[in-house]
Amino acid sequence: MGKRVLRNILIPLDGSKTAETVLPYIKYLASRFNSKIEVLGIGIGNKNRRVNRLLNEYIDNTVSDLNAEKVEAEAVVIYGSAADKILNYSKQNDTDLIIMATHGRSGVKRWWMGSVAEKIISQSITPVLLIPSRKKKATQTKKITSFDRILIPLDGSDIGQAALNHIELVARETGAAINLIQVISTSGSMEASLVGNANWDSFFKAIREAASDYLGSLVEELKGHGISAKYDILIGNPAAEIIEYAKKNKVDLIAMSTHGRTGLARWVLGSVADKVLHGAGMPMWLVRPQKMSMLVK
């Protein structure tokens, strides 16, 4: 990403209050990266239809509100299938980040995991920041949104490390601390013949030492760049351990690659990342590894 980090941010909105959950995060990031925000509405059918006129008015009003808070924003309304239009627009317009809620509802259609957001996560070559959608209470409207502690689960592979470079740049600008973790699975992906075997202890020790060397070197590199960082090695079910760790350590953001591989297990959306997304209930920054992105270009 280099110096381009978060120069152009795309936020698809559908007119719902739940989709607007992203707005505090937009303001938080835009103020730190001097980002240009494109507020995207997806119309259906003829643009002269009343519902589309209302959508245009809503997008324009949202942009005006952002501009009033000194956020550079512009309105974009296009027509067609929501997921396909978002994917095409982000690819053609050099978008650095897509921010969207996990659920949203308009008078015409509903966005939910399993539909628009899921398709975007699985196919986007642009990083995606997903915000759990919640209807704001009056007492929450003035709550300050920030990323003070960011969790990055790693699996020891290069493609599993895709989110790290993005988050390092975010941490530099926001002052966030980074927690790196690696979860050593003892079931499912582990060869059953190894568990309880006489060689198990030495095998497990070797895995743990390799994880410690790997994570330790990354932490030292982050600290060398002025970023507060630490690492932990966990044992158990990867998704469950990540969720529990995030809640216990009061993490504000989880950043993961959408794909990853170790010699023992593979992380794919629909597996670890998908389970964390549904179970953690907190913002997730998902990055497709460059090798995977090349396959969909």
Q: Are 149 and 251 in contact (CB under 8 A)?
A: yes
pLDDT band at residue 252 using 50, 70 and 90 as cut-offs? very high
Last residue of a domain, one of 120, 139, 158: 139
| Position 144 in a domain | no
Q: Is residue 219 located within the same domain as residue 97?
A: no
3-state SS of 200-233? HHHHHHHHHHHHHHHHHHHHHHHHHCCCCEEEEE
Residue 18 corresponds to which amino acid?
T
Q: Is residue 209 located within the same domain as residue 267?
A: yes
- Whether residue 108 is predicted with pLDDT greater than 60 in this model: the reply is no
Number of domains making up the chain: 2
| Position 50 in a domain | yes
More confident: 278 or 284? 284
Last residue of a domain, one of 139, 170, 185: 139
- Can you give the pLDDT at residue 171? 95
Q: Is residue 123 located within the same domain as residue 174?
A: no
Q: Is residue 88 located within the same domain as residue 23?
A: yes
Q: From residue 130, give the alpha-carbon distance in Å to each of 76, 117, 243, 262, 264.
A: 20, 8, 16, 25, 28
Q: Is residue 166 located within the same domain as residue 288?
A: yes
Q: How far apart are CA 46 and CA 71, in angstroms?
A: 31
Q: How far apart are CA 196 and CA 193, in angstroms?
A: 8
Query: Range of 23's domain?
Result: 2-139
Q: Is residue 234 located within the same domain as residue 279?
A: yes
Q: Is residue 132 located within the same domain as residue 70?
A: yes
Q: Are 74 and 36 in contact (CB under 8 A)?
A: yes
* pTM reported for the whole predicted model: 0.85
What 8-state DSSP symbol labels residue 2? G
- pLDDT, tens digit (0-9, with 9 covering 90-100), for 124-153: 999 999 998 765 554 444 455 789 999 999
- Can you give the pLDDT at residue 203? 77
Q: Is residue 220 located within the same domain as residue 97?
A: no
| Position 96 in a domain | yes
Q: Is residue 133 located within the same domain as residue 252?
A: no
- Can you give the pLDDT at residue 269? 45
Q: Is residue 23 located within the same domain as residue 85?
A: yes
Q: Is residue 277 located within the same domain as residue 216?
A: yes
